[in-house]
């Protein structure tokens, strides 16, 4: 039994099994709160706790999924290619929107951190919350934050963006497909893009574009903004 637990196949099969269960529940429930990824995470935690299986054994297979996050993100370029003319038409507005999103996120996190007297290490760990996991891990290691906190924040941001994104857009009366896509991609990375693709190809294309630009701008701007923030 121990030999099976310590194989890559165990973690990989566990993730795929519980994620499919999560998707099944999501489709049946038809409610945003029943998010497939969120259900998958909860089920895996319960499974490992109940069976007393060490996280290290599970992580051997989970690392394969982590490695695939980078290459899979490239697939999001397909809808962007189809909507490239739209991107050129709204290039200035798109870039301004993403920059504002990155800077606003930094300011809010920094202010909350100072008001609550949060340790700088924790603040640095939260800053990359709106970019993809591979980029977030690289950035937090450079900043001197805690990698595990960053991963949790990135996942939580994506899930909440996926669940609440549509509602927030309605409250803000944001109706233009380009604006909706930029908002979801900048705020909630791949999970936001998943929601954007449900809305339409234009929304999905703009959201996938935002992931890349937001990631690059975050890596470039955060160290500079940190110098100003002190």
Please say if the pLDDT value at position 1 is more than 60: no
What number is the average pLDDT over the span 30-58? 88
Q: Is this model's pTM higher than 0.95 or not?
A: no
Residue 228's pLDDT band, with cuts at 50, 70 and 90, is low
**What is the average pLDDT score of the chain?**
85
For residue 86, the model assigns a pLDDT of 83
Tokens of 228: 């100003």
What number is the average pLDDT over the span 194-214? 87
CA separation, residue 31 to residues 9, 36, 191 (Å): 32, 11, 16
For residue 24, the model assigns a pLDDT of 94
For residue 169, the model assigns a pLDDT of 93
For residue 223, the model assigns a pLDDT of 81
For residue 3, the model assigns a pLDDT of 63
CA-based nearest residue to 161, from 22, 26, 37? 37
- Which of the two residues, 116 and 80, has the higher pLDDT score? 116
Rounded distance between C-alpha atoms, residue 134 and residue 154, angstroms: 10
Residue 194's pLDDT band, with cuts at 50, 70 and 90, is confident
Q: pLDDT by residue (tens digit) across 60-108?
A: 877 777 777 767 767 767 777 777 888 888 889 889 999 999 899 988 9
For residue 217, the model assigns a pLDDT of 87
Residue 25's pLDDT band, with cuts at 50, 70 and 90, is very high
Please state which of the ranges 59-63, 93-97, 138-142, 213-217 shows the lowest mean pLDDT: 59-63
Please say if the pLDDT value at position 180 is more than 60: yes
Please say if the pLDDT value at position 135 is more than 90: no
CA separation, residue 195 to residues 55, 112, 143 (Å): 30, 28, 30
* Contact present, 145 and 121 (Cβ < 8 Å): yes
For residue 43, the model assigns a pLDDT of 94
94: region left, alpha or beta (phi > 0 left; psi from -120 to 50 alpha): alpha
- What is the distance, to the nearest Å, from the Cα of residue 88 to the centroid of all Cα atoms in its chain? 26
For residue 6, the model assigns a pLDDT of 65
Listed by start position, the domains of the chain span: 2-74, 77-229
Kindly calculate the radius of gyration of the chain based on its CA atoms and give it in whole angstroms.
18
Residue with tokens 């007393």: 52
């Amino acid at each position: 039994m121990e030999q099976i637990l310590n194989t890559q196949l165990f973690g990989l099969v566990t993730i795929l099994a519980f994620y499919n269960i999560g998707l099944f529940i999501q489709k049946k429930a038809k409610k945003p709160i029943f998010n497939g990824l969120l259900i998958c995470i909860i089920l895996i935690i319960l499974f490992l706790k109940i069976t007393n299986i060490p996280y290290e054994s599970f992580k051997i297979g989970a690392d394969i999924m982590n490695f695939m996050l980078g290459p899979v993100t490239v697939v999001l370029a397909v809808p962007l290619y189809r909507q490239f003319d739209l991107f050129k038409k709204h290039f200035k507005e798109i870039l301004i929107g993403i920059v504002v999103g990155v800077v606003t996120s930094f300011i809010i996190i920094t202010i909350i951190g100072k008001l609550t007297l949060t340790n700088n290490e924790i603040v640095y760990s939260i800053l990359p919350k709106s970019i993809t996991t591979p980029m977030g891990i690289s950035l937090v290691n450079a900043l001197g934050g805690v990698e595990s906190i960053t991963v949790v924040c990135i996942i939580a941001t994506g899930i909440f963006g996926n669940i609440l994104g549509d509602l927030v857009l309605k409250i803000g009366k944001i109706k233009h497909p380009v604006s909706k896509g930029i908002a979801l991609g900048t705020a909630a990375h791949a999970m936001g893009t998943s929601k954007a693709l449900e809305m339409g190809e234009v929304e999905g294309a703009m959201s996938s574009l935002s992931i890349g630009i937001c990631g690059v701008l975050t890596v470039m701007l955060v160290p500079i903004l940190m110098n100003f923030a002190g």
